[in-house]
């Protein structure tokens, strides 16, 4: 029997020739392929429509094919938006949608672009023009809502469920914003949750599997497990059993009325609408991201270890978490009183906090 041998062929993969060498036609084909990938990631039709428009406006403003865009082009577009008075969150959305498209080109079209146009893809969004992680409601400017304010808002939402014209969306909003607060999730992380991501038997409280956690420096999704604290497990059990069946069947946890994922902009708009219904002054209103900062601050104030909060929020470093923590004005006095009470209790054997 002849001995079988393997032969190594030098060369490697051959870049696929693009169907057209017209840069604008080729970019349109790439844009269509990028958009076609969104439903596979669970994006709802509303999300797709919103993001298509945003990406098209961004590319038009840049004025050149995405692979030719330079850091100076990003500076120019973001600077023009600032001059127009557009909010920080809007400027961030322009940069983020372009960065996502560019990442798609790097992953799927890099060889074709280099073969046709002689350009090796390097993302023009760098540390100097990338939008800040936090938006207009920066913790350096605005404190997060107090525990009392958060509880008042959730009480309002709970009462509204009984009187709302549509029970399903009202109950979904209550469960969703409770999840944002108690689990410290970003809006997009909550929108991408699916029903199998709830693990009620994992750990003493049950855990959420956040499969699409935000990764730092365009590193891609960074999954994490988040415990269902402060009775969140009970809220989500109720939601799954009583509320979710009222929406079309799909894997999405917090679905819209078509069964698709809610866009993060929709979540922000829902919260704004609910606070308008609540009728509180503008100074007492907050954003979805403020609920995430409130989660960090309130857990820190009640003694949860900072590293535990870091892991819960999915931050790379403790320094990132510290930017989210904004203790109350009496935090030092409260901590001092707790420490003194604890010391006296040890010395006297009596509970002085009763």
Q: How confident is the model at residue 264 (pLDDT cuts 50, 70, 90)?
A: confident
Instruction: Report in angstroms the alpha-carbon separations of 75 from 29, 82, 148.
Output: 26, 10, 42
Helix (H) / strand (E) containing 189:
helix 187-191
DSSP state of 226: E
Distances (CA, A) of 159 to 154, 167, 175, 269: 9, 11, 13, 20
CB neighbourhood size of 87 (10 A): 12
Residue 244 structure tokens: 């979710």
- Looking at the predicted structure, is the pLDDT value of residue 272 above 80? yes
- 190-249 pLDDT, tens digit per residue, is 999 999 999 999 999 999 999 988 765 445 678 999 999 999 999 999 999 999 999 999
Is the per-residue pLDDT at 66 higher than 60?
Answer: yes
Dist. CA 244–CA 249, nearest whole Å? 9
* pLDDT at position 336: 65
pLDDT tens-digit profile of 130-184?
655 444 444 445 788 999 999 999 999 999 999 999 999 999 999 999 999 999 9
Residues with Cβ within 8 Å of 134's Cβ and at least 6 positions away in sequence, in order, are: 289, 323
Encode burial over 7-39: b for 16+ CB neighbours within 10 A, e otherwise.
Answer: eeeeeeeeeeebeeeebeebbebbbeebbeebe
Place of tokens 């002689």: 118
Q: Give the pLDDT score at 334.
A: 67
pLDDT higher than 60, residue 304: yes
For 154, the token pair is 């959730």
**Residue 5: is its pLDDT beyond 80?**
no
Please tell me the predicted confidence (pLDDT) of residue 338.
66
**Integer Cα distance of 131 and 22 in angstroms:** 32
**How high is the pLDDT of residue 91?**
86
Read off the tokens for 94. 């322009």
Q: Most confidently modeled of 95-104, 168-177, 256-265? A: 168-177
- Residue scoring higher pLDDT (42 or 277): 277
Average pLDDT over residues 283-312: 91
The chain-wide mean pLDDT, for the chain, equals: 84
Dihedral over alpha carbons 300, 232, 198, 273 (to 10 degrees): -90
Residue 3: the pLDDT is 55
φ, ψ of residue 302 in degrees (nearest 5): -95, 10
**Out of 166-175, 318-327, 341-350, least confident range:** 341-350
pLDDT above 60 (res 2): no
Does position 68 have pLDDT exceeding 80, yes or no? yes
Contact 259, 244 (CB under 8 A): no
Burial of 196 (0-12, 13-18, 19+ CB in 10 A): exposed
Angstrom CA distances, 204 to 31, 85, 289, stand at 46, 48, 27
E strand or H helix at 290? helix 288-301
Among residues 139, 223, 132, 137, the alpha carbon closest in space to that of 185 is found at: 223
pLDDT of residue 330: 60
How large a percentage of the chain has pLDDT more than 90?
A: 50
Phi and psi based region of residue 123 (left: phi greater than 0; alpha: psi -120 to 50; beta: remaining): beta
With vertex at residue 229, the alpha carbon angle to CA 227 and CA 232, rounded to the nearest 5 degrees, is 105
Distance separating alpha carbons of residues 239 and 107, to the nearest angstrom: 38
């Amino acid at each position: 029997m002849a001995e079988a041998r393997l032969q190594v062929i030098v060369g490697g993969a051959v870049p696929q020739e693009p169907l057209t060498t017209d840069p604008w036609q080729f970019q349109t084909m790439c844009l269509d392929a990028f958009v076609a990938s969104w439903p596979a990631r669970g994006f709802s039709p509303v999300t797709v429509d919103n993001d298509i428009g945003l990406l098209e406006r961004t590319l038009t403003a840049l004025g050149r094919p995405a692979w030719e865009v330079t850091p100076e082009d990003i500076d120019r577009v973001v600077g023009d938006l600032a001059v127009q008075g557009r909010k920080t969150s809007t400027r961030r959305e322009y940069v983020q949608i372009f960065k996502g498209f560019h990442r798609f080109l790097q992953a799927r079209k890099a060889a074709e672009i280099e073969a046709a146009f002689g350009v090796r893809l390097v993302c023009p969004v760098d540390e100097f023009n990338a939008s800040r992680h936090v938006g207009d409601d920066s913790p350096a400017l605005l404190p997060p809502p107090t525990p009392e304010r958060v509880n008042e808002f959730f009480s309002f939402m709970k009462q509204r469920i009984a009187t709302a014209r549509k029970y399903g969306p009202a109950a979904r909003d209550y469960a969703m914003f409770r999840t944002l607060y108690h689990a410290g999730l970003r809006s997009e992380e909550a929108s991408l949750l699916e029903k199998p991501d709830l693990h009620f038997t994992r750990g003493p409280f049950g855990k959420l599997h956040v499969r699409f956690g935000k990764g730092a420096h365009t590193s891609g999704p960074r999954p994490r497990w988040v415990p269902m604290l402060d009775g969140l497990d009970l809220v989500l059990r109720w939601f799954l059993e009583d509320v979710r069946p009222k929406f079309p069947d799909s894997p999405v946890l917090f679905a819209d009325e078509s069964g698709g994922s809610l866009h993060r902009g929709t979540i922000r708009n829902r919260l704004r609408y609910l606070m308008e219904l609540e009728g509180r002054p503008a100074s007492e209103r907050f954003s979805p991201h403020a609920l995430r900062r409130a989660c960090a601050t309130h857990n820190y104030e009640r003694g949860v270890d900072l590293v535990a909060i870091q892991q819960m929020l999915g931050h790379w470093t403790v320094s990132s978490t510290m930017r989210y923590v904004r203790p109350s004005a009496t935090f030092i006095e409260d901590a001092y009183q707790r420490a003194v009470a604890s010391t006296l209790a040890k010395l006297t054997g009596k509970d002085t906090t009763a």
